[in-house]
Amino acid sequence: MTGTLITVAPTGAESSKAAVPALPVTLDELVATAKECEALGAAIVHVHIRDDAAEPTLDQGRLRATVTALRESTDLIVQLSSGGAVTDPEAARLAVLDAGPEMASCTMGTVNFGDGVFLNRWEFIVDLHTRMQERGIVPEYEIFDLGQLTTLQVLLDRHGLPAGGHVHVDLVMGVPGGMPGTADALVACHRVIRDLPAGTTFSATGIGRSSIPVMLASVSAGGHLRVGMEDTLTYAKGRAVESNMQLVARAVGLAQLAQRPPLTTAEARDLLGVPVR
Ligand code: KMH
Ligand code: ZN
C-alpha cells in the first residue's frame, strides 16, 4: 500500500467570505494557503476562484492567472474545478479546460445539491472526458452517489481511459442530496471501485460533520484524503475551522498514524500519471 495522497480544497463555491472570513478568496490568499498546505503535506490543490466581490467566477483570465501563480509558487498539482457553482452554464465549465490545468474535476452525474441541482448530463460528461483526453489533462472523477461509479464504468468502457492512463476517483460524501458520509457508504463505493480498471485509486471527503468518519474510513480502506474549507467549516463541535492548514495538518497526522505518510508532489504525479513539470 502506498502513502496517502492529500488534496486540499481551500475555497469552494458555496461559502461567502462575509460568513467565513478565513476563506481564501483573493489570488494572494489562495497562493499563500497553497504554499503552506504544500509544506504540511498536501500534493493537490482543488481550485475554485472568486471575483473582486468574492463571488464564485469562471472568468478565463483569472483562471489562467491562478494556474500560473500556483505553478510559480508551488509544485502542487493544480486541479481546476470544472464543477464551478450550481449556477454555472455548461459552456463556461467546459472552458475551464482552456486555462491549461494539469488536472480538472469531472463529475459523474447530476445530484441534488442542497437547494440547488448540480447538473451533469451524460453528453456533458462525455464532452469533458474526451476534451481532457485530447489535451492531456488528468481528470479526477467526482462521485456524489453510488450509481455515479457505474456511470464511470460505462464512460471508460465506451470512451477509453483518461489522459495518463490512470483512473482516480474522489468520493464527495455527505452532500445534502447525495450519498451519506458514512463508513458503510464508503465500503459500498469501495466494492464498485474494485471493478474499475486495475490500479484505480480513490480519495474521499466528507462534508461538514461527516469529515472525520469519512477520513477514518478512507484511510482504513486504502483510500486517500481530500480536506479543506470547501467541504468543512467546523473543526470540532462548537469550534470553527481556523484555516485550511489546520485541516491539512489533521489529515497529515491521521495519515502518519496509519503508517501511510503523505505522498510528495513527485510521488503523487507518478501515482496519477500527471507529467512532471
Ligand atoms: N460546487 C459544486 C456545485 C467540483 O468542483 O467539480 C461542484 C463542485 C464539484 O464543487
Ligand atoms: Zn469543488
Q: CB within 8 A of 65, min separation 6: which ones?
A: 27
Which cell numbers hold the place of 171? 468520493
Distance CA 228, CA 207 (A): 10
> CA-CA distance, 69 to 63, in Å (whole number)?
10
Q: Can you give the pLDDT at residue 277?
A: 86
* 41 Cα: distance to centroid of ligand 2 (angstroms): 20
Residue 219 identity: V
Tens digits of residue pLDDT in 12-65: 999 999 999 999 999 999 999 999 999 999 999 999 999 999 999 999 999 999
* Whether the Cβ atoms of residue 70 and residue 34 lie closer than 8 Å to each other: yes
Which ligand 1 atom minimizes the distance to the CA of 104?
A: 6
- Residues facing residue 50 across a β-bridge: 56
Which residues form ligand 1's pocket by a CB distance below 6 Å? 12-13, 81-83, 85-86, 105, 107, 113, 118, 142
pTM over 0.85: yes
pLDDT of 1 over the 80 cut:
no
Q: What is the pLDDT of residues 75-112, one digit of tens each?
A: 999 999 999 999 999 999 999 999 999 999 999 999 99
**Ligand 1 atom index nearest CA of 230:** 10
Atom of ligand 1 nearest to the CA of 172: 9
Nearest CA to ligand 1 atom 6: 83
124 pLDDT band, cuts 50/70/90, is: very high
Ligand 1 atom at minimal distance to the Cα of residue 107:
6
Angle between helices 147-159 and 183-193 (to 10 degrees): 20
Eight-state DSSP code of residue 96: G
* Residue of the CA atom closest to atom 8 of ligand 1: 83
Query: Amino acid identity of 176?
Result: P
Tens digits of per-residue pLDDT, 266-277?
A: 999 999 999 998
By alpha-carbon position, which residue is closest to atom 4 of ligand 1? Answer: 83
Instruction: Give residue-wise pLDDT tens across range 140-172.
Output: 999 999 999 999 999 999 999 999 999 999 999
Give, as one character, the DSSP assignment of residue 200: -
Note the pLDDT tens digit of each residue in 223-268.
Answer: 999 999 999 999 999 999 999 999 999 999 999 999 999 999 999 9
Tell me the best of 46, 105, 128, 148 to mutate to test the pocket of ligand 1, counting ligand atoms within 8 Å of each CB and taking the most: 105
pLDDT value at position 255? 98
Ligand 1 atom nearest 84 alpha carbon: 1
Beta strand extents in the chain (DSSP E only) = 6-8, 44-47, 49-50, 56-57, 77-80, 103-107, 111-113, 116-118, 138-143, 168-173, 201-206, 224-227, 234-236, 239-240
**C-alpha grid cell, residue 63:** 483562471
**CA of residue 231 to ligand 2 center, whole Å:** 9
Kindly give the distance from the C-alpha atom of residue 82 to the centroid of ligand 1, in angstroms, as a whole number: 7
Compute how many other C-beta atoms are within 10 angstroms of the C-beta atom of residue 161: 12
CA of 203 to the centre of ligand 1 (A): 15
d(CA 199, CA 120): 26
